[in-house]
Structure 1
Amino acid sequence: MFSGIISIFSNLIVLGIFIKYKELRTPTNAIIINLAVTDIGVSSIGYPMSAASDLYGSWKFGYAGCQVLDIFGMKAK
């Protein structure tokens, strides 16, 4: 849980810096922003769903939850 919170906040800082400084808005840096946004999604949605399922012992989020997890490139167990 601690590493997920650190990941979310550090990626929010990256996004904030990107928004504040216009000279950083280059096509190459767009890849970094894409990675930061994706990592925020994985840290805030993907990992908690996966951890909850691991603790429960089976998948509790149904078909829609499985599709959400698949968007982040993770596999439901």
Structure 2
Amino acid sequence: MKQKSKAHDKVMPPLSLSELCSEAADHVAKARISLFNDSYDAEVALLHLDEAIFCLKRLLAHGRSTDINGASVNGASATLRSA
């Protein structure tokens, strides 16, 4: 069985918070379309949901590494630019 590559297996360039939110929303929308169109492709839907979760994890990591003003916390450098 051929294994599909996932986008998050590659090094991802830094994205703004709005770009990450938009990407997560796009993946959720594509998952929904995969489930509710005529072909009903659950595997593709799950792949899109995995990608959306990955985007949300990156948002969470950014939130944990910065304070309310966007400064790094505990020496952690922020990998995302603020919107």
Normalising by structure 1, we get a TM-score of 0.52
Match of 1:12? 28
Q: CA RMSD in A?
A: 2.4
| Bigger relative contact order (CA 8 A; separation at least 6) | 2
Structure 1 residue ranges without an equivalent (≥5):
59-77
Shift of 1:49: 2.2
Deviations 1:41-77 (A, max 9, x none): 1222x1122112332423xxxxxxxxxxxxxxxxxxx
Aligned residues: 54
Normalising by structure 2, we get a TM-score of 0.49
Structure 2 residue ranges without an equivalent (≥5):
1-16, 67-71, 75-83
Select the structure that is richer in helix.
Answer: 1
